[in-house]
C-alpha cells in the first residue's frame, strides 16, 4: 500500500478531511536503517523521534506541529504506519568541538501510532 493509499483509507475510516496537513517521509531519508526504525514503530518500541531545526531549514520544510499526521514509508515507498504528533519539544544545544562552536536546536517529536 502506498502512503497516499494509507492516508485516504484512514480519512475514509475516521471521517478526517483528506486535505488536512499530513506529511509522508522515511526515517533518515531512506535505506535499510529507515526500514529498521519504521519496524521499531510498528512493534511499539519507538514512540518518538528527533531532528535538528537546521535539517528542516535545509529542506525548506515547516517544523512539525502538534496534531500533524505523518505517514511513515519503508525505503521501497510502501506505507509502514501513520501517526499523529502529540508533542514537540525544542532544546538549544551547543558543543565545543576542536575550537568550532556548534549550535543547534534539537527537535523532539513524541507521537502515537494510529494506523
CATH superfamily of 3-113: Sulfate adenylyltransferase (3.10.400.10)
CB 5 within 8 Å of CB 79: yes
CA distance 67 to 23: 11
- 3-state SS, residue 58: helix
Running DSSP on this structure, what letter comes out for residue 62? P
pTM of the entire structure?
0.79
Nearest to 2 by CA among 78, 62, 109: 78
| Domain chopping of the chain, boundaries | 3-113
The 10s digit of each residue's pLDDT in 47-103 is 888 887 788 888 898 888 888 899 999 999 999 999 888 888 777 766 655 544 444
Amino acid at each position: 500500500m502506498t502512503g497516499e493509499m494509507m492516508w485516504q483509507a484512514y480519512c475514509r475510516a475516521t471521517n478526517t478531511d483528506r486535505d488536512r496537513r499530513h506529511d509522508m517521509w522515511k526515517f533518515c531519508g531512506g535505506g535499510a536503517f529507515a526500514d529498521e526504525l519504521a519496524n521499531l514503530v510498528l512493534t511499539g518500541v519507538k514512540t518518538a523521534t528527533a531532528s535538528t531545526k537546521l535539517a528542516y531549514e535545509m529542506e525548506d520544510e515547516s517544523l512539525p506541529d502538534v496534531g500533524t499526521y505523518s505517514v511513515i514509508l519503508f525505503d521501497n515507498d510502501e506505507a509502514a504506519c501513520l501517526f499523529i504528533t502529540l508533542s514537540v519539544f525544542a532544546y538549544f544545544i551547543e558543543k565545543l568541538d576542536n575550537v568550532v562552536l556548534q549550535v543547534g536546536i534539537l527537535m523532539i517529536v513524541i507521537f502515537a501510532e494510529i494506523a
